[in-house]
Amino acid sequence: MTFAELLDQVGGMGRFQVIQVALLSIPLLLNACHNLLQNFTAGVPGHRCLIAANHTCDANVTRDLDCEGLLRVSIPLDGNWQPEKCLRFITAQWQLLDSNATAGNRSKGDTEPCTDGWAYNRSVFTNTIVTEWDLVCDSRTLKQLAQSIYMAGVLVGAVVYGGLSDKFGRKWLLIWSCLQMAVAGSCAAFSPGFPAYCIFRFLTGMALSGIGLNCVSLSVEWTPTEMRAAVGMLTGYSYTLGQLLLAGMAYAIRDWRWLQLAVSLPFFAFFLYGWWFTESARWHATAGKLEQVLKELQRVARINGQKEEGDKLSLEVLRASLQKEISSAKSSHTVVDLVRTQTVRRISCCLCFVWFATSFSYYGLAMDLQNFGVSIYLIQVIFGAVDIPAKLIGFLVISFLGLRITQATSLILAGLSILANIFVPPELQTLRTAFAVFGKGCLATSFSCVFLYTGELYPTVIRQTGMGLGNTLARMGGIVAPLVHMTREYLPSLPLIIYGATPILSGIAACFLPETRDVPLPDTIADVESQ
């Protein structure tokens, strides 16, 4: 009797699985909010230099009749005839009040940086880390630094918590990660300065990896083979709903501190109800803890209304049924096992390409919402809503054609849609946005698919280590993605070329992965090598 058959004996996809998957999906929902939070907490409003310290015309950057003249003589105009964001006249240029005057007299010597600070347009963002700590002009790169530090935390969390959960179990690492997210996220909301904010965001990034990895593993490892695709789609939709939730919360809460707090406090509740979760019996088996396996299976049987079937189980039955898992418990496993054998090595290499490319292009699009020329709240809703049909189509393709085709196709289509924008004129903003939204939908499908695919490709003994490796590459992609925008200075279309070519190449790599549709989850490395 295999573990899959033991799972069917205690109820298959019963009441326990439904409750556990539902409860595990809620933290994933708010994970999406934290991942994309800086679109709003670090939003860059319209700004210009202060005319003079504490001047009444600086209370609001929108012009009125009283201040129009003073602004004209104090702030130079840029190439689009808008007030410069980072310069002001050293002395008032009263000649500009002449209707025949032009902005051509603002030589370099006539202007200076914003020595007294900036005035911000607060009609969209009441308060952000940008307005609070003046992360504009010479300090504008600090905004991207904060996001990269957060992604670095996600990377470190993937490495650390991926290995620890294989050693100590999924449940305990999930509980700890929820507590860390709640505490660090709340502390970030009360940060006294930018350095402290970055430290707490780093810690929330670490916690996010621990939550994501262990929620997915606990869902997959308690799910019967035939229901894994459906569960994968459900957890994917949790992330989608999180994007829509973030748009609504950010629209209602315009102060970054309160918004940060709103997406962090619920993790205290997740920490409390996380104690109800049942540890993965698969993990207990590979750790050699048959008594715990029996206890967990009988508990699941009771919840599923199959108490009699659960009572039929015994240590002798488990010992006879789980020989492979017991034998694997006698040997230790490390990250080296991800490349030690031929098939697992091929899987690891291909998945590294897939994880990196998916995250790299996804965050290249999703963290650049202010450049689409429409309401940031509307584009966030559109970017979130496109995931609904995209993931449904992905689920149907997975169900009928398998994970390999879905993974490869979604990546290649995403790359082609991004590259298509190279040939669309800038004035056709709607068409450019449509291509970007389609590409983002394909990348969302790829993300949902690769989470499920990775869990099914790696055996139980190194599943979390493999998930940690994949997440590490994904976070490297997330860290690198913002830097690509700098290449626009050399060639305007170069960022699109890079964002588009990368998923196409990784889609080709995905074609070399084995198919897992209707195949039982492997528990040992030998299982993978024999497939």
State the Cα–Cα distance between residues 493 and 419, nearest whole angstrom: 9
- pLDDT score recorded for residue 260: 93
State the Cα–Cα distance between residues 151 and 145, nearest whole angstrom: 10
- pLDDT score recorded for residue 198: 94
- pLDDT score recorded for residue 509: 92
| Prediction pTM value | 0.76
CATH: 1.10.10.10, 1.10.520.10, 1.20.1250.20, 3.90.105.10. Which one for 3-43+139-530? 1.20.1250.20
Ranges for all domains in the chain classified under CATH 1.20.1250.20: 3-43+139-530
State the Cα–Cα distance between residues 79 and 69, nearest whole angstrom: 19
- Rounded to a whole number of angstroms, the CA Rg of the chain reads 26
For the chain (531 residues), the mean pLDDT of every run of 10, in chain order, is 71 82 87 88 83 59 57 74 77 68 51 80 85 84 83 85 79 91 94 93 92 83 76 79 90 92 93 84 74 79 79 73 60 75 90 92 77 77 85 83 91 92 80 86 87 85 80 84 74 85 93 86 81 69
The residue type of 200 is: F
State the Cα–Cα distance between residues 416 and 420, nearest whole angstrom: 6
Question: Alpha-carbon torsion 322, 325, 328, 329, what sign?
Answer: negative
H helices of 254-402, where?
256-262, 266-273, 281-286, 290-303, 307-311, 315-321, 323-329, 337-340, 342-366, 376-385, 387-401
Distance from chain centroid for Cα 355: 12
State the Cα–Cα distance between residues 195 and 142, nearest whole angstrom: 10
- pLDDT score recorded for residue 404: 92
* DSSP state, residue 75: S
- pLDDT score recorded for residue 105: 44
Nearest partner of 458 among 167, 239, 187, 166, judged by Cα: 166
